[in-house]
Amino acid sequence: MTSEERVLPLVMGVLNVTPDSFSDGGRWCDPDAAIARGLELVAEGASVVDVGGESTRPGAKPVDAPEEIRRVVPVVEALAPVIRVSIDTRKDEVARAAVRAGATLINDVSASLWRTAAELGTGWVAMHMQGSPETMQESPTYTDVVAEVATFLEQRAALAARAGVKEIWLDPGFGFGKTMGHNLSLLRHLDRIVAIGLPVLVGLSRKATIGRLHAASDQAEVPTESTPPVPTDDRLEGSIALGVWAMAQGARMIRAHDVLAAVHSAKVVAA
């Protein structure tokens, strides 16, 4: 990458208004608390705040659309005048309600809402997931995880482009139906996803793979799928390290809980 091509990677701040998200579940259920947290993310330098009303952690139970809408709409309405807001949802009804409230990006872990994004004129993030959140980590299997994820994302992006979506992001879906080995293979070959030619969003922050890497490094061991991970709040260093790796491979945006540290790291990478 030449100096003329260098750009500052963006940081998407995570704002889960759920009782059961894997890292911050229950912390921002109250709308006023969630709005205050969103404004903190803005002050820390986030370019986008990603509001989610349904946990998609492994084993999470689905939430019905009216409840998800109740959780997210007041927060989106309050934040949209001051920051770009994305809505983290798999549901057409929720996406539409959030866009009416001011969201301009649909962060879609199901990679199924391209028609909605086309109709509403919003951006769209297509993420790869094997299975559903309830079952995705039971036995994820691939012949070639990098090739299969890349092919899936290329196909979904083509569908979205044909439907008329103007802004398409690709997310390889770390931790969504993938073992630690799958995640590390995707990271090692992230340039294959970047080579598709669309902007890549990477969500690595505080994931279990990082927790296992931290735990193994503390014990000077090689991590395995059965290594007990360190708690989510103890995964900052690994989150930043893998985020920097992803940005150096060409990721244009990283999704982060620790926004200030992520923004600082993005500035270093861009320099």
* Calpha distance 263→126 (Å, rounded): 23
Helix extents (H) in 164-271: 180-188, 190-194, 208-218, 236-248, 259-270
Q: Is 255 marked active-site?
A: yes
- Known catalytic membership, residue 162: no
Separation of CA 244 from chain center: 15
Looking at residue 200, what DSSP letter applies? B
Rg of the chain over Cα atoms, rounded to whole angstroms, equals: 17
Q: Which two tokens stand for residue 192?
A: 């294959």
Could you give the residue ranges of the DSSP H alpha helices within 45-195? 65-79, 92-101, 114-120, 145-163, 180-188, 190-194
Catalytic residue among 84, 178, 207, 252: 207
Q: Which helix (H) or strand (E) holds 47?
A: none
Specify the 3-state DSSP secondary structure of 224.
coil
Q: Judge whether 65 and 41 are in contact, CB under 8 Å.
A: no
Distances (CA, A) of 149 to 101, 124, 127, 173, 198: 32, 17, 9, 9, 14
Active site residues: 207, 255
